Amino acid sequence: MPKWSLRRRPGRTLGLLLLLVLSFLVLRRYLNPKVGSCDHEGALRLNWSTLVPLWLQHQRLGLRTKGPDFILEDSIFQILGGSIHYFRVPREYWRDRLLKLKACGLNTLTTYVPWNLHEPERGKFDFSGNLDLEAFIQLAAKIGLWVILRPGPYICSEIDLGGLPSWLLQDPDMKLRTTYHGFTKAVDLYFDHLMSRVVPLQYKHGGPIIAVQVENEYGSYNKDRAYMPYIKKALEDRGIIEMLLTSDNKDGLEKGVVDGVLATINLQSQQELMALNTVLLSIQGIQPKMVMEYWTGWFDSWGGSHNILDSSEVLQTVSAIIKDGSSINLYMFHGGTNFGFINGAMHFNDYKADVTSYDYDAILTEAGDYTAKYTKLRELFGTVSGIPPPPPPELTAKMVYEPMSPALYLSLWDAIQYMDKPVTSETPINMENLPVNNGNGQAFGYVLYETTIFSSGVLSGLVRDRGQVFLNRVSIGFLDYKTTKITIPLTQGYTILRILVENRGRVNYGNNIDSQRKGLIGNLYLNNKALKNFKIYSLDMTKQFLQRFDMDNWSVIPKELTFPAFFLGALSVGIYPSDTFLKLEGWVKGVVFVNGHNLGRYWNVGPQETLYLPGVWLDKGINKVIIFEETMSGSMVQSTDIPHLGRNQYIN
């Protein structure tokens, strides 16, 4: 190839000089921005890879396979990963949790991306605050972690509808996780937006993302053979150029394989490891082995027991996985919390909703504290790498505050007048199809249905998931999956029939996700005759919902209480706000809000007995606490520095 010199190419010389000057000006502008300016914000989000010539970028080889090994650039690379979900951890604690992951001897972060939280309304995207995916990934890179991204669109993750937006269910013919046009059209629009954010963060563009997962455990669903190739192409067409992976458990491994995509496995025992590795070998030959999800514990369901996995068993299984030559990802390294109403559910024989805590009996606790598992695994990973891990960060402070007694009260029946006008309909409308939220329906919370009746008899209907039935303001019982009929006692003339229905969480795993509409499903019958003319109130319990209640709307707590009701109190905090756990002894079932943050649900059936309250959500001085209680209140709310997750009580 002929050499060229500056003498032969004066035009190119001038162009090169101009390029150098321009590059200097651009760098100067970004490296010395005025705080608060657009340039300052741009500097924080500067994609350095755009300053590297393309021909140099393409020299970066990224993660690839060579026989039984992963290769990163020219070196054998063993993935030692841990899962943390940014949407389950207060943003202010991201750095703490990631530093603890690094200090455990791990080199890779894995995280899901919840579509339902990022696109709460069609075409309206939210990647701000606690949902700032890019900031989370960039922080991981700054700490020295690689990233495996799991963007779905379905993620399971014990989150409502497996992370799929509830507005998809407005289509009566919707077939989720298939190539049904209504689903793929929505996925395409979401991926258009999401991948524009993700693509610059890939390894070959100078970012930390070394691999991307194609959907999640599709082999155990497997309703459409064309679906996984479609998702693979959707990722690649939008610029995903890193290694692609699938992830399947024992029920779906053989059916979850996709051409050109490395299969990985999900498990908890050494017996599963041996069996699944045998299947992997028969499917894809000699390839790197990876346990994408080693389940370090398990999630809990309301009315069940708290799941615990012994730390010695965890150490033995992780040691066996590493000795087998596999890479590993700890699911979960840190579970966090199902703040708000984002928890999912399971429904095989019985419907079981997940609790608010996503502690998972993981390596770190719900509040980010160390466990025996952390200590043992840190020693193991330090031995494997031959490099001592960095020192673990200090624990976040915990505090026990003075008990709080609510001072003010507002019954639901009095609160109705301050809500948006109800939807009027001849027949009941399920939550997802309510004409609210700019036509996107209601995703979470409660719905109140009202109609009038003039006789007694048997009330029947499909309530999803739990409906408290009232005659005027008097509760007469509940309708749910097991109780589909209730007797209406004798009434005199005009009576208001009310049903307060709670969405306790849409199923996140299984073959019945298409049927996860909530509220009243179909007609409501009295003596087998369909009732008509409903008023329907949307109680989504968002910040905007609670802001409708002015101080003038509240009253002093009376001697005789009417439920359901809202209670207002003040939590006093000293000069150093710290983490705590709220304990609601005497309260039965409801939701707690602190300074506008929805801490999640409580229910005295257990196993969860406390709600995690992050100190970063507290202010010095007075903090506003609102409790929505469905049936019976306690006299106070206490706090503790120790969570209570282990009560062993079951629903009859």
How far apart CA 409 and CA 561 sit, in angstroms, is 9
How far apart CA 539 and CA 416 sit, in angstroms, is 10
DSSP reduced 3-state for 466: strand
Q: Are residues 555 and 534 in the same domain?
A: no
Q: What pLDDT is recorded for position 646?
A: 63
Q: Are residues 253 and 316 in the same domain?
A: yes
Element spanning 281, H or E = helix 270-284
Q: What is the 3-state secondary structure (H, E, C) of 316-361?
A: HHHHHHHHCCCEEEEEEEECCECCCCCECEEECCCEEEECCECCCC
Q: What pLDDT is recorded for position 68?
A: 97
Residue 323 near residue 317, CB atoms below 8 Å: no
Q: What CATH number does residue 555 fall under? A: 2.60.120.260
Q: Pick the last residue of a domain from 499, 517, 541.
A: 541
Q: Are residues 275 and 137 in the same domain?
A: yes
Q: Are residues 349 and 429 in the same domain?
A: no
Any domain includes 512:
yes
Any domain includes 3:
no
Q: For this structure, is 426 an active site residue?
A: no
Any domain includes 493:
yes
14-34 residue pLDDT tens: 444 444 444 444 444 434 444
Any domain includes 45:
no
Q: Pick the last residue of a domain from 507, 541, 575.
A: 541
Any domain includes 480:
yes
Q: What pLDDT is recorded for position 536?
A: 98
For residue 223, give the amino acid letter. K
Q: Are residues 435 and 350 in the same domain?
A: no
Residue 529 near residue 579, CB atoms below 8 Å: no
Q: What pLDDT is recorded for position 480?
A: 98
Q: Are residues 576 and 485 in the same domain?
A: no
Q: Are residues 593 and 527 in the same domain?
A: no
Tokens 């991948």 locate to 195
Residue 453 near residue 526, CB atoms below 8 Å: yes
Q: Is the Cα dihedral 289, 323, 220, 188 positive or negative? A: negative
How far apart CA 335 and CA 333 sit, in angstroms, is 7
Q: Percentages helix, strand, coil for the chain, rounded to the nearest 5?
A: 30, 30, 45
Q: What pLDDT is recorded for position 644?
A: 86
How far apart CA 429 and CA 553 sit, in angstroms, is 29
DSSP reduced 3-state for 506: coil
DSSP state of 177: T
Q: Pick the last residue of a domain from 490, 511, 541.
A: 541
Give the DSSP letter string of 208-247: SEEEEE-SSSGGGT---TTHHHHHHHHHHHTT--SEEEEE
How far apart CA 387 and CA 226 sit, in angstroms, is 45
How far apart CA 19 and CA 30 sit, in angstroms, is 17
Q: Are residues 509 and 560 in the same domain?
A: no
Q: Are residues 282 and 352 in the same domain?
A: yes
Which member of 293, 502, 629, 630 is catalytic?
293
Residue 62 near residue 210, CB atoms below 8 Å: yes
Q: Are residues 510 and 564 in the same domain?
A: no
- Residue 562: domain span: 406-410+548-640
As for how many domains the chain has, the answer is: 3
Give me the phi and psi of 96, to 5 degrees please.
-60, -45
The packing angle between helices 94-103 and 133-143, to 10°, is 40
Any domain includes 19:
no
The CA-based angle 413-415-420, given to 5 degrees, is 115
Any domain includes 170:
yes
Any domain includes 159:
yes
Residue 127 near residue 133, CB atoms below 8 Å: yes
Exposed/middle/buried for 454, CB within 10 Å: 0-12, 13-18, 19+? exposed
Tell me which residues of the chain have a pLDDT lower than 50: 1-59, 647-652
Q: What pLDDT is recorded for position 4?
A: 32
For 233, how many CA atoms within 13 A lie in the half-sphere containing its CB? 7
Q: Are residues 534 and 553 in the same domain?
A: no
Q: For this structure, is 379 an active site residue?
A: no
Q: What CATH number does residue 73 fall under? A: 3.20.20.80
Q: Are residues 174 and 115 in the same domain?
A: yes
Tokens 């120790």 locate to 642
Which member of 217, 609, 629, 630 is catalytic?
217
